Amino acid sequence: MKKILLLVLILISSISAQKVYYGDIEGDIDLGLAPYVKRIVEEAEQNTADAIIFRINTFGGRVDAATQIKDAILNSKVRTIAFIDKRAISAGALIALSCEKIVMTPGASMGATTVVDQSGQKQSEKYQSYMRSEMRATAEKNGRRTDIAQGMVDETIVVPDLQDDSTKLITLTAEEALKFGMADTILSSVEEVKEAFGYKNASLIRVESNWAEDFIRFLSHPIISSLLIMIGLIGLYTEIKTPGWGMPGTIGVISLALFFGSGYILELASALEIILFIVGLILLLIEIFVVPGFGVFGVSGIALMIVSLFLGLISDFPLIDWDIISVAIIQLALTLFSTLVIMALMLKYLPKTSVVTKLVLDKKVEQKSGYGTLPSLKDLVGREGIAYTDLRPSGTALIDGKRVDVISEGDYIQRDSPIIVKAVEGLKVIVERKK
């Protein structure tokens, strides 16, 4: 009797110890969603969970992101259940098929996985072929009908017992999915799903996206990634133009680190892109501070930096065509153009802003007061001389046989080049190359 009671207690404790993990796959399928799904699978495996329920409600999104999510679910050592709440369209259908079990709510739908571009136009056959193979292999892995899975991608594939023409993609209702074996049951709630698969008394562990995952998704948005590039380049430009190391350079480095770091996590950027950018920046600095003029080092540095930023905007997805490349080119071109415009405006107007002028002593002490310490430099305006050192943009010039600390108007002026004094602002002597 005691043994029977002990077995009953062990059975009850084992049932009560059941754990079911739960995660939401909702909204656009983007690369920022993949780390969240991977974390759910990893935590469920580490804590020996009995199952994972993914509630799916999406119109689809990026194919490369859906492929990453699909792979994570297929590789899960824990039983996976797709709970389609309303819809699993396009990339959402691929994710649903990757789960071992599929449950749909009444009135839900699944299908229409043709690959389209940014404007909604059907992509090339290369993409459709890839998606057909992904859907077919995934359905085959979990014992689903491969002909229906492929018919969701390609309207020319006719499933005789489901459709009678070759002009429509397959999108299944909940009842149709159940009838043709693409779903296992129709239920209305997560609790019903738990009970249907033997986890009625299991504790439901809901996994929310954490701040880091939300932050990465935020950084991966095209507008935000463009702003990070702009801030990074402007910060480095400002730092090069000013002595020492200060706040602009620090902000620029942080911005570029966030851009490449988020891309690295989302598998958009690799170590190669980061190395290319650093090498390009080093070459550009060598051109500015070591090698006079502007030549191979400068051109090579700028080219490497642009290439690294471009590669950081596209993924390592096996199918990269002109549509993906053109979107990256447009985004990068607009970003660089905006950056150049801002740099030009900064160079022209920033020294005259109230913020900067507050940092400069503009009160003049007249020589006749008896407190002046240096002679006036106004007489130098219009005088000619030569650059005694390279002006980058500051340096030393020889004017009337005397050394004078000068600054050019942002242009690099090579040593021994003829110069002319354009203006004098306090102790700042502004020169330009003599034409």
Cα-to-chain-centroid distance, residue 303:
21
CATH 2.40.30.10 fits 367-433, yes or no: no
**Beta strands, E only, 37-180:** 51-58, 79-89, 101-104, 109-111, 171-173
Q: Which distant-in-sequence residues (6+ apart) come within 8 Å of 174 by Cβ? A: 84, 104, 105, 106, 107, 108, 109, 183, 186
Per-residue pLDDT of the chain (435 residues; tens, 9 = 90+): 555 655 555 555 544 578 999 999 998 888 788 889 999 999 999 999 999 999 999 998 888 888 989 999 999 999 999 999 999 998 999 999 999 999 999 999 999 888 776 666 777 777 788 888 999 999 999 999 999 999 898 888 888 877 666 668 889 999 999 999 999 999 999 999 999 999 988 999 998 887 877 787 787 777 888 888 888 888 877 777 666 667 877 888 888 888 887 777 766 666 778 888 888 888 877 776 666 555 677 778 788 888 888 877 776 655 555 556 777 788 788 888 888 888 778 777 665 556 555 544 555 555 555 554 445 677 778 888 888 888 777 788 888 888 888 888 767 788 888 888 888 877 778 888 887
* CATH 3.90.226.10-classified regions of the chain: 16-209
Among 3.90.226.10, 3.30.420.10, 3.30.1180.10, 3.80.10.10, name the CATH number for the domain at 16-209. Answer: 3.90.226.10
Whole-model pTM: value is: 0.67
Helices in 160-245 by DSSP H: which ranges?
174-179, 190-196, 211-219, 222-241
